[in-house]
Amino acid sequence: MKLWGGRFETGPSEIFERFSNSLHFDKRLLAADVRGSQAFVRSLTRAGVLNTDECACMTGAFDSIREDSVKPNFFDGATDEDIHSFVIRKLKERVGSLADKVHTGRSRNEQVSLDTRLWLREECDRTLGLLRALMGELLALAAKYPDAIIPGYTHLRRAQAVLWPHYLLAYFEMFARDYERFTEARRRTNVMPLGSGALAGSGFPHDRAAIAHDLGFDSITRNSMDVSADRDFALDYLYAASVTMIHLSRMAEDWILYSSEEFGWLELGDGVTSGSSLMPQKKNPDSLELIRGKSGRVLGALNSLFFTMKGLPLTYNRDMQEDKEPLFEAADQLNGCLEMAGLVANSVVLRPHVPLEAANESWVVATDLAEALARNGTAFHQAHQIVGRLVLESVRNGKKPADWNADSLATFAPEFTPEMAALLHPREGMKTREIPGGTGPATVAAALAEAGARLQSLL
Ligand code: ARG
């Protein structure tokens, strides 16, 4: 069924219909479309356009459409232009010509904005819930190995020793920022557009605040032209989704490396890994590789909508129908990846002696030694030179930090005092980093507790 036609002498070509119809993807908005239409009908009744019997008849029919929509075959044979046209046809099948009144003063331009906002608001809540769950898994994984030491990396070269919980809390912070971004995206989405008409504002006296209240929106949009032209709320979600996917992808990359034979720190659970059809020994981190791979699709969705919106003249243009597939795709991929990442985190087993050994056998303590010299009065540049020479000498002679002691250090350079020899062991050096945000053991224990309390406050 068409919501227009009077002005045309012939109908659209079959090719154009196939080209432009969106029902096959925007049918996902059915529940939102029905809910919004029910609120609109109630508003028309308050505005004196419909009587209460007509209102009850239509809202009841909308209920039955929603109930029937879960049945298989509900959409079979439908050739309607979009979900809005489809729902009106279904309404007409149920209430006859009364359905002709439902679009009084309503444009699909405001309707599609409303439907997308209603759908996206729920999607934000789903994402926020999955983020909370993942953050909880990270804290649990940190708490399993509170004292474990790993080498932290820059340039993928061993840099300085950090506590395992400190490393995991870095991701916790990223996801906490993502949480804020989705909260903000939800806030911007949760604004009610109905009453805007096609672009100029409705010609009927709707109480817009009452519609907002009916549908659980925080407030109403302020400009009818902006409503028809705006997809910022979708871009905000896609941006938040893209940043989250980058965080997930980087965590996936870390854990793919750390679980490799070359690193050997982590064992991933059988439930999140796969084997090879040829090589019997393989245990592949496919779950993490897919998270890394799917991040590209979400970043692509953000770019897709950016390019669709760029340069569109105000107000609505049919180009904007191209917002939905990237939005649906991004939400599905994101939520799937968040769920998967939580399960992987839950399955991780750390072999603490492996990263500890990696820290011990490398010169991650070099900075600790240089800083100790500087604290004792040696200018930092000189201290850096002394320890640099110590490392060079050791590398040449195959010596590890533990091969040195207080005497040999003092012989190497008189600036070394006997107490500094303790810093040849990474765990000692970390104790000098009790600064807010640092990897000092007491600081990290407090940070873990604080993160737990912050997560609780999000529930
Ligand atoms: N299917 C359209 C979309 O998703 C609905 C709005 C159509 N409005 C119009 N004036 N053609 O954007």
pLDDT at position 214 is 98
Alpha-carbon gap, residue 370 to 62, rounded angstroms? 73
> Predicted confidence band at 5 (pLDDT cuts at 50, 70, 90)?
confident
pLDDT at position 10 is 86
pLDDT at position 293 is 98
Strands 266-267, 349-350: pairing kind: antiparallel
Over range 436-448, report the average pLDDT.
Answer: 98
Alpha-carbon gap, residue 122 to 301, rounded angstroms? 19
Percent pLDDT > 90 in the chain is 97
- The catalytic residue among 13, 155, 277, 457 is 155
Compute φ and ψ for 152, nearest 5 degrees: -85, 155
pLDDT at position 164 is 98
Q: Candidates 1.10.275.10, 1.10.3720.10, 3.30.70.270, 3.20.80.10; correct CATH number of 14-101?
A: 1.10.275.10
pLDDT at position 459 is 78
pLDDT at position 265 is 97
pLDDT at position 3 is 79
Alpha-carbon gap, residue 88 to 293, rounded angstroms? 40
Tokens 């087993």 belong to 349
- The catalytic residue among 260, 276, 353, 408 is 276
pLDDT tens digits for range 263-312: 999 999 999 999 999 989 999 999 999 999 999 999 999 999 999 999 99
> Predicted confidence band at 6 (pLDDT cuts at 50, 70, 90)?
confident
CB 370 less than 6 A from any atom of ligand 1: no
Under CATH, what is the fold of the domain 108-147+168-206+216-349? Fumarase C; Chain A, domain 2 (1.20.200)
Percent pLDDT > 70 in the chain is 100
The first and second tokens of residue 205, run together, are: 């006296």
pLDDT at position 2 is 79
Start-end of CATH 1.20.200.10 domains in the chain: 108-147+168-206+216-349
Over range 381-396, report the average pLDDT.
Answer: 98
pLDDT tens digits for range 70-125: 999 999 999 999 999 999 999 999 999 999 999 999 999 999 999 999 999 999 99
Which residue CA neighbors atom 12 of ligand 1 most closely?
321
pLDDT at position 272 is 95
Cα-atom radius of gyration of the chain, to the nearest Å?
A: 30
Under CATH, what is the fold of the domain 363-458? Ribonucleotide Reductase Protein R1; domain 1 (1.10.40)
Q: Which atom of ligand 1 is nearest to the CA of 324?
A: 4
Ligand 1 centre to CA of 110 (Å) is 9
Asked if residue 1 has pLDDT above 80, the reply is: no
Start-end of CATH 1.10.40.30 domains in the chain: 363-458
Asked if residue 434 has pLDDT above 90, the reply is: yes
CA distances (Å), origin 357, targets 217, 270, 281, 399? 56, 26, 25, 14
pTM of the model: 0.96
CB 82 less than 6 A from any atom of ligand 1: yes
